[in-house]
Structures are given as structure tokens and as C-alpha cells.
Amino acid sequence: MADHDQAGHTGHTDQAGHTGQAGQAGHTGHAEQDGSGPEPLSYSKWARFYDEIIGDRSEELDRLHAYLSRYHPEASSVLELGCGTGAILSGLAYRYAITGVDRSPEMLEIAERKLPGGRLVRADITEVSLGERFDVVLCVFDTLNHLPSFTAWQAMFERVHEHLADGGLFVFDVNTVGRLRRLGMSTAYAEDFGEHMFTMTVRDDHDGLSDWEVRVFERQGDGSFTLHSEHIPELAVPLRQIRAALEPHFDVLEETGLHGEPGNDSSERVYYVCRHRQAVSTRRQPG
């Protein structure tokens, strides 16, 4: 999640690769439920407030446009893993064929309204398998940190390997170990938005894992407030470990902080731009 100090951040709905399945997951939008039981997935409650709370995304879009034009000017297709409400994809749709994957039906429902010509798939980004490749894969606004184990990060890198064309670009960002530690030691962040209020409390959990408690106080007509609260886990991983996990399939072109300086484990946020060496299906078989 995003730029708020304590806060991070935060088409049509495709019938999951037209086969009814996208990896282990179900479809998007109102279609199929994923059968995960009564426990709602994170973002179910604050999805409808998300865009208003996070606000203007033009700075991030400018950054992505700069990466794409510098490193892959001829790219024509973009896949965003963890696309949320489509805030980023809607700024790219004028130029690229876009596909978004997210596991939250509430976030996808909002994306669907913004992206009438786009393709949205409801799936887990560690398991998704769309059966096609893209010129660019994005995973931004600390979506990767939302995967609560490093094994899940590695599984997601394998999904990127599966979905990227030869020479394609993988662009992602992370909240660092240092940032999550600092947030865990600071006081809650609070902000008014419209007539409502939002608070974010980050608690240091254990082994790099933190718990982000998001609370939205929605003002009602009679002046009372309805509380919507949920918890989002974020895992921070040392940059050295991230680079080692990327090494088998990707060359790291940039590992930079907010202002283009070299990133490190104390940076607020680190942006990775990686070149895919070789796509899965074109790899030579040994012998």
C-alpha cells in the first residue's frame, strides 16, 4: 500500500482465460466465487473507498511510462498482477492491450467499470495461468509485499516467467525491510476523505511480516459512523534475497529508490525493472 505515510497504498471481466479456469482460481467480477469459505479476502471492505483514499496516481503512471519507453518502446501488451481497481491499467489502456489479474471480486468490480474494453481475470497471482505471453508484466504498489511468505514470492516470479515474452519487461516495486520496520514503530496514520475518515495502523509482526490494520469510518446520513475494518499482511524481504530469486530468469536493469537513486534495504520503496531472458515455451530441452 502506498504514499500515505502509515498508509501504503493500496474491461470486461474475463472468464479466466476463456477456459473457466485461470490456474487454480476462478473467474473475475460477479462470476464465480472461489469457494474459499466464509473468511473474506482482504480489500473486500475498503475496495469501494480505495480510489478516493489513495488519490491521484499520475506520478506512478509517469514513472511506468518512463520505464516502458526507455526499456521497451515497442511493447504493445501489458499484464498487471494485482491490478486492484484498475487505477494503473486505466492510465495505460489508451496505448496498450491490457489484462489485469486480482483475487478480490470487490476490487475487480470497480476495475470492470473503469476498463470496459479490458480483460480482467479473478485469480491468485501465485497460481494464475492464462496460456499466453505479454510484452510487459507489472506488479506495483507493494502488491508483492501482500504475499505473506517468500515461497509465494518465488511462485509469483515463476508465474511472471510463464507469462512474459522473450526480452519482455517485468516491473514491480516493494516496501523495504527498513520501511516496514519504521512503520511498525510509528503511530497510526489518520486522514479525512470527503466526509469519511480513514486510519492505518502498522504493527510489526515477526520475521519481516507486518500487519496493516485499515479502518474506514463511513459517515451516515444521521451523522453517525459505520466502521469497516480489515487486516492486510505485508512481508518485507531483503533486496539481496529478491535479486537471488530473480536471477534464474531475469536481468535486473534498475533497482532504484523513489527518486532514481540506488535502492537499499532502508529505502522507502524500491522499484525493479527486469528484462526476461527467455520465455518458457522457447527454452531448449537438454539433449
Distance CA(23)–CA(16), nearest Å, equals 9
Binding of ligand SAM by 267 (CB under 6 A): no
Query: DSSP state, 283?
Result: P
> Least distance (Å) from ligand SAM to the CB of residue 167?
24
Residue with Cβ nearer ligand SAM (39 or 222): 39
Cell digits of residue 237: 524481504
List binders of ligand SAM among 204-233 (CB under 6 A): none
112 binds ligand SAM (CB under 6 A): no
Which residue carries 494464475 as its cell?
A: 128
Stretch in the footprint of ligand SAM (CB under 6 A) among 69-77, 143-151, 165-173, 196-204: 143-151
Closest-CB residue for ligand SAM? 84
Task: Give the C-alpha separation, 52 to 67, whole Å.
Answer: 26
**Residue 88 interacting with ligand SAM (CB under 6 A):** yes
Of 167 and 189, which CB lies nearer to ligand SAM in the complex structure? Answer: 189
Which x/- pattern, by CB under 6 A, does the window 58-87 give for ligand SAM? ------------------------xxx--x
From CA 78, how far away is CA 17, in angstroms rounded? 15
Find the binder of ligand SAM among 9, 114, 179, 276 (CB under 6 A).
9
Q: Classify 66 in phi/psi space as left (phi over 0), alpha (psi -120 to 50) or beta.
A: alpha
143 lines the binding site for ligand SAM (CB under 6 A): yes
Q: Which residues contact 215 (CB under 8 A, 6 or more apart)?
A: 198, 199, 200, 201, 227, 228, 229
Give the list of residues 6+ apart from residue 275 with CB closer than 8 angstroms, or none: 71, 167, 168, 169, 170, 250, 251, 253
Considering only residues 123 through 142, tell me which ones interact with ligand SAM, judged by CB under 6 A.
124-126, 140-142
Least distance between ligand SAM and beta carbon 104 (Å): 4
Question: Rounded to the nearest 5°, which phi and psi values hold at 52?
Answer: -70, -40
* Total site size for ligand SAM, rule CB under 6 A: 22
**Contacting positions for ligand SAM (CB under 6 A):** 1, 9-10, 43, 82-84, 87-88, 102-104, 107, 124-126, 140-143, 146-147
